[in-house]
Amino acid sequence: MNITEVRHQSWAGLLNIFYICLNCDHVASQGLLLGYQCKICGHSGVRMFYSVVISSLIDSIQDFYFISNKRKTKEDTAAITIQTNPQTVIPLLFCTLADVILEDFLRTLMRKQGLSQPVADRLLSDHLTGKRRRECLFPVLTGCKWKAALETLSSPLEPNFNSTFDFYLEVNKARNQFLHDGVPWAIKTTHPQGCINHIWPLLKLFVSLHNKFVCVLHPSGNL
Ligand SMILES: [Zn+2]
């Protein structure tokens, strides 16, 4: 499905479809129409895995995508400014999405490991950037380097996580050049569509990381 063809239905409602088992913490995408049953422990109690912030960011990306589309079809009455230009806003939102997902993952992992919230807050503030969180904090908490973790999660059944992460790095670099050095052209014209294409793999990546490092009852868990 090409998500950009969907205009009148929430993209978050279509993409953010992951549930966490309240018994064993395993996360999976599963329809709830006939009731939920955890594939690992059989428990039926679940809640949405990703926070409402994630859904809001995805729907914001959708809103800005169609601001762009409106402009092309001359139906638009919204002013396109530097603050509302989808060319820049969609990559900014995508990077925020990746940052929030990473922090949520690390917070859940630290809670599972019995670290108190003040300690978790301190560790996150000591590792303020995404790069430090991936390259320094993640290995301390998991015993595994970030890139090695991506390799172990690679599977023909999954999206190409390395490709998604490399794309994120490219867009994040352009974002930083734009925000910190005022270089708007650092963001390529292909970036907004790429961001939209990589939302689903990004969500899947952090579900896989959660199931490997947080879900202790999962067969591939290592805690
Ligand atoms: Zn379960």
Interval 135-183: pLDDT, tens: 999 999 999 999 999 999 989 999 999 999 999 999 999 999 988 888 8
Q: Quote the ligand 1 centre to 84 CA distance (angstroms).
A: 42
Q: Which residue has the higher pLDDT, 40 or 97?
A: 97
For residues 177 and 186, what is the distance between their CA atoms, to the nearest angstrom? 6
Q: Quote the ligand 1 centre to 49 CA distance (angstroms).
A: 13
Q: What is the pLDDT of residue 221?
A: 40
The answer as to whether 37 is a domain residue is no
Residue 103's domain comprises 51-213
Q: Quote the ligand 1 centre to 88 CA distance (angstroms).
A: 40
The answer as to whether 36 is a domain residue is no
pTM: 0.89
The answer, yes or no, to whether residue 99 has pLDDT greater than 80, is yes
Q: How many domains does the chain have?
A: 1
Q: Quote the ligand 1 centre to 204 CA distance (angstroms).
A: 18
Decide: 212 and 218 in contact? Cβ < 8 Å: yes
The answer as to whether 96 is a domain residue is yes
The answer as to whether 218 is a domain residue is no
The answer, yes or no, to whether residue 77 has pLDDT greater than 80, is no
For residues 9 and 23, what is the distance between their CA atoms, to the nearest angstrom? 32
- Ion ligand 1 residue ranges (Cβ < 5 Å): 21, 23-24, 26, 38, 40-41, 43
The answer as to whether 20 is a domain residue is no
Q: Quote the ligand 1 centre to 24 CA distance (angstroms).
A: 4
The answer as to whether 33 is a domain residue is no
